[in-house]
Amino acid sequence: MTTVLDRTTSPATPSTSPAPLLRERGQREVFCGLTSIIWLHRKLQDAFFLIVGSRTCAHLMQSAAGVMIFAEPRFATAIIEDRDLAGMADLHDELDRIVARVVARRPEIRMIVLVGSCPSEVIKLDLSKAAERLQARGQYAGVRFLTYTGSGIETTFTEGEDRFLASLVTALPAQEQNAKPRLLVAGCLADVVEDQFRRIFTALGIEQVDFLPMRESTVMPSVGPSTTVLLAQPYLTETARLLQSRGCQLLHPLFPLGEEGTTAWLRAAADAFGVDPGRFEAITRPGRDRARIAMTRARSELEGKSLFLFPDSQLEPALARVLSREAGMVPLEVGTPFLNRLHLSSELDLLPSDVTLSEGQDVDRQLDRLRDAAPDLTVCGMGLANPLEAEGFATKWSIELVFTPIQGYDQAGDLAELFMRPLRRRALLQTGRA
């Protein structure tokens, strides 16, 4: 049972979650939603993400993506200058000019996504109206315009993907009446992982499968009452809500991390489409065996190691589940920026009963608890990692868990490896000092 503890009230009525919950509301240390463009622009191969923001936004994207601007990645920043803020220039005219340059320079682009930022929100720039105006112009025939906000005000970086997919959902065509049942996998996956899942679904006899986001913006899946949705990522709250509002049926299994999670995720789809249990067992057995072998090797290094997860990506509950149940690690505290109990109910049920679960962030309090707990490994944002390393803590960047393919059977070993490396590095450093 979970006792919900609020900093300002007495204990609330116990809920059905297996771990104590702390609600934190204080200083935060997270990336903004613009960071999600790094993996989104790689997935949609004919889309261009145009950030309307400041020079700080541009520097963040260039450094976080690890690319130089002359490499011409499919994202850029329309920088809001002082003259724009002073009203000496019409921001909409400036935006139109930049869009025209993008279309002329990149004729292969079929979707332009206008991305809001903290500066554009502060000056109340309505990018949705700008997208509508640009879409109505005949000169951009064949180019679709979408918009969402990647602002870091009261958000975390994975919410950028949720907001983009939510915008995309509103543009998806409606299914025809009496359409055949289809499976929609929502959430950005690496191409290699998507291909693996597609092969498994085909082998199971589920051939009508779409992925969101799609690789090409011109191939838009239709959605409606005949659509069953599997979430590949736990942070797609708004996307899931909009899909359900369009009549889609949403499944709530474990997320596809590790052998246990991947099997439960695939089984949910198989059950929804009436796949024979024997066929499911035969198709998934090779992948399950490979994942178990990989996790058994990792367990020799990870078993018994304590783990402290700061709230950053919203992947934390699922990560704690797979690391505790398949790798033998001991999660002490599992923090998450936002806790969607509906999407994470299966994950929460499998967490150790004595783990501390926190929602939100109060970084000073959490740092105090970290130092008291003295875990073997800390999962946190880049801004906290270096100071904690200087204090003697082994750390893992949480953002790396979003950039790296970790879903599915064949990536189970890669997932474990991400947590083994910092422990090995710390051991080598300690040996060198001895």
The pLDDT value given to residue 297: 94
Which CATH number describes the domain made up of 33-155?
3.40.50.1980
CB atoms closer than 10 angstroms to residue 43: 17
Separation of first and last alpha carbons in the chain? 45
The pLDDT value given to residue 302: 97
Bind-site residues: 32, 57, 118
Q: In terms of Cα–Cα distance, which of 30, 12, 8, 33 is closest to 21?
A: 12
Q: Two tokens at 384?
A: 């906290």
Per residue, what are the HEC states of 225-274? Answer: CCEEEEECCCCCHHHHHHHHHCCCEECCCCCCEHHHHHHHHHHHHHHHCC
* DSSP letter string, 120-142: HHHTT--HHHHHHHHHH-GGGTT
Q: Domain segments of the chain: what residues?
A: 33-155, 182-280, 290-433
Bind-site residues for [4Fe-4S] cluster: 32, 57, 118
According to DSSP, the β-strands at 182-186 and 227-231 are parallel
The pLDDT value given to residue 87: 55
From 3.40.50.1820, 3.40.50.1980, 3.40.50.2020, 1.10.275.10, which CATH number describes the 290-433 domain?
3.40.50.1980
8-state DSSP, 221: P
**Cβ within 8 Å of residue 284, ≥6 positions away:** 200, 263, 266, 409
What is the rounded CA–CA span in Å between residue 28 and residue 57? 19
The pLDDT value given to residue 433: 62
From 3.40.50.11540, 3.30.530.20, 3.30.70.20, 3.40.50.1980, which CATH number describes the 182-280 domain?
3.40.50.1980
The values of phi and psi at residue 88, to 5°, are: -80, -10
Decide whether 33-155 matches 182-280 in CATH topology. yes
The parts of the chain modelled with pLDDT lower than 50 are: 1-18
